Amino acid sequence: MLDARRSGILMPISSLPGPWGIGCLSAHARDFVDSLARAGQSIWQILPLGPTGYADSPYSSFSTHAGNHYFIDLDRLVADGLLDEDELRGLDWGDDPARVDYGALYASRNRALRTAFASAPSPDADPAFGEFCARCSPWLDDFALFMTIKGLQGQAPWQSWPEDLRHRRPDAIAEIRDSHGHEITYWKWLQWVFDAQWSDLHSYARSRGISILGDLPIYVAADSADAWSHPELFDLDEHLSPRRVAGVPPDGFSATGQVWGNPLYDWDRHRDDGYAWWVQRMRRQLELVDLVRLDHFRGLESYFAIPAGHATAADGQWCPGPGMDLFDALREALGPLPLIVEDLGYLTDGVIDLRARSGFPGMQILQFAFDSREPSDYRPHRFPRDCVVYTGTHDNDTLRSWYGALAADDRAASVAYLNNARTPDEEIPWDFITRAMTSVANTCIVPMGDYLCLDGTARINTPAVPEGNWQWRMLDGAFTDGLADRVSRLTRVSERAPAHPRGTT
């Protein structure tokens, strides 16, 4: 699947620099693509693109198909005459350019986008808008309706809506469509604008030889258009509340396990209709990105089910997943799948066998190689070629912060392995990056915070900690030409540079 040696950088869209509170599809995104190309990279890995819900996590989205309207480039709307830059500067975007202030963002971004929509020509008169709505109708209609009702209900989760709306009774839904058509159009317009801007950025990345690696969470959020519009596909009771929810048992991240709270799938129902919803979901992802990281792959071999309402994962149990049946259906409908699978966590022989039979490359985390709580399989000399090595993921601390907290015996093992006893602390991340890049793994991905040698303030997410995540932003100008050139030299010497980089002579 990923048989050529190549490398990339993990950098969430939200972490890009820029003036309006959060990274977006702006000139800064194009600048980042240019820096990737200068650095000899082939892949830009992002996090899920959906609109964020509870706790601002991209893994808890209001839709598995929609784009995050926070990522819309407001400067482009200014250039189109839909916004006034002076008015934007008068809004609250937070006071720290290195952090996303989601409270300020919620107020200011939504205000700016509604102003732009009010200033825009009627989208219904634009054939391109109609074509977009028709193409995306399998998910767009329900999403726009969901977000409209959610606004009318004070942003309450759909499980607490009035019964007629919760159960999508035809008369109640028809009344919403008749009375709030303008608001429904607004939510469709946001997706149209996002889609156009994303398409432009994606095309630009391709023109520079950069493939975008997206991320598909295995589960959908309980409070999502997906669960509301297709309750029959999930393990819900007669009141449409989850009987059991997703999570994981105790592990290195949490001594009591993690209760994610996502509704579990009714896999029998999915199997009976040929996994049609999954086919639609994957097709949409492959419209947006070039490669897909499938999160929590082991949950497709067997998944951990926790009784709804339980505070910890102590009473959960493993249940069989769809296995190869799902991948066979996806391949039959979509052809070859450019997937990377996140095969981390508690791995049984069944999970290992499923990954081997699926043929998708798995993941190796270099931080785990020097954590005595983890198996030694993560040491680079044990890597298979058909894998993707990471120094760390969005769930790990930065290399610099992780190394500073490493147990004495584990640090001694890393020093012996890397022969880096004399490396200054501020350069330690480069020893691990170099080992990852020079490993036999066909693909190497390094988080941007590691290349910048940043401390734990650049950590993206701390699992099992509900607050303070998904906030880090790179400062403008941090990805210098000098840094890109240093990455490029390492990329070339480790034979990961593209043969003919785009935009170079």
Say how far apart CA 322 and CA 301 lie, in whole Å.
Answer: 6
Q: What is the pLDDT of residue 501?
A: 55
Q: In this predicted model, what pLDDT tens digit does every residue of 33-42 receive, in sequence order?
A: 999 999 999 9
Give the SS3 label for residue 317. strand
Interval 487-497 mean pLDDT: 98
Interval 185-207 mean pLDDT: 98
Q: What is the pTM of this model?
A: 0.96
pLDDT above 90: residue 118: yes
Interval 449-471 mean pLDDT: 95
Q: In this predicted model, what pLDDT tens digit does every residue of 301-345 receive, in sequence order?
A: 999 999 999 999 989 999 999 999 999 999 999 999 999 999 987
Interval 12-23 mean pLDDT: 98
Say how far apart CA 109 and CA 344 lie, in whole Å.
Answer: 36
Domains of the chain: 6-493 (3.20.20.80)
Q: What is the mean pLDDT of the chain?
A: 95
Interval 128-147 mean pLDDT: 97
Interval 123-134 mean pLDDT: 96
pLDDT above 80: residue 500: no
Q: What is the DSSP letter of 397?
A: P
Closest of 6, 183, 20 to residue 93, by C-alpha: 20
Catalytic residues: 295, 342, 395
Q: What is the DSSP letter of 475?
A: P
Q: What is the pLDDT of residue 347?
A: 86
* Cβ atoms of residues 47 and 58 within 8 Å: yes
Q: What confidence tier does 505 reach under pLDDT thresholds 50, 70, 90? A: very low
* Cβ atoms of residues 225 and 198 within 8 Å: no
Q: What is the pLDDT of residue 504?
A: 45
Q: What is the pLDDT of residue 499?
A: 78
Say how far apart CA 345 and CA 298 lie, in whole Å.
Answer: 8
- Which residues touch 449 (CB under 8 Å, ≥6 apart)? 398, 458, 459, 460, 472, 474
Q: In this predicted model, what pLDDT tens digit does every residue of 368-412 receive, in sequence order?
A: 999 888 766 889 999 999 999 999 999 999 999 999 999 999 999
Phi then psi for 45, rounded to 5 degrees? -90, 130
Element housing 116 (H / E): helix 102-119
Interval 354-365 mean pLDDT: 96
Q: In this predicted model, what pLDDT tens digit does every residue of 236-286 receive, in sequence order?
A: 999 999 999 999 988 766 788 889 999 999 999 999 999 999 999 999 999
- Which residues touch 354 (CB under 8 Å, ≥6 apart)? 297, 300, 301, 323, 324
Closest of 444, 435, 451 to residue 483, by C-alpha: 451
Q: What is the pLDDT of residue 250?
A: 80
